[in-house]
Chains A and B, each alone.
Chain A
Amino acid sequence: MNSNEKSNGMVTTYIVYVTILVIAVYQVCFALMAGPQPVLMLMLALLQASVAVMYFMHLAQERTILFLALIPYTVFVLFMMNMIWSDSFRLLHMRPH
């Protein structure tokens, strides 16, 4: 990797970092002003995570077949996460019952 490529890589890293930071600030401001919005919050978190996986974890530079191979596992994990929703919704009210 020459210095020009390294510089471009750092520029991309800074842009991604600022993007994630802006989304986080927007999440906090939106939560303060508009109250709980579970779907929007999780969609924004998904957007943040997608950007981080693509650029910080270099998935965007991997082969397409690897990217496609990860989709079934991601769907499986997201499906299994539904096991906890019935209880985790109590967190919305920050109280046990």
Chain B
Amino acid sequence: MFGATFFTITGLHMAHVIGGVIALVVVAFTYRSGRYSARHIEIWSLYWHFVDIVWMFVVPLVYLMNMKR
């Protein structure tokens, strides 16, 4: 159960990060074409900040709470 919990938390987070990075790279290279509106960029930024906020809880839970003094 430990391995399942650990790798589910970190693995799902990694999947979200990879998805976000791909989306941001696509937007970075294609935003000049005018395909995306400001609302599209805002939605992707909300997604990226969501991933960021999840990481704020993953780091203490998985890495900081087991540090030895």
10 A/B residue pairs, CB under 8 Å, sorted by A: A27-B59, A35-B68, A36-B66, A41-B61, A45-B56, A45-B57, A53-B53, A57-B46, A57-B49, A57-B50
Mark A residues whose CB is within 8 Å of B: 20, 24, 27-28, 31-38, 41-42, 44-45, 48-49, 52-53, 56-57, 84, 87-88, 90-97
Interface of B is mostly: helix
How many contacting A-B pairs (Cβ < 8 A)?
79
B12, chain A: closest CB distance, angstroms: 13
Mark B residues whose CB is within 8 Å of A: 1-3, 5-6, 45-46, 49-50, 52-53, 56-57, 59-62, 64-69
Q: Is the CB of B67 within 8 A of A32?
A: yes
Known: A35-B67, A57-B46, A84-B5. A91 touches B61 (CB 8 A): yes
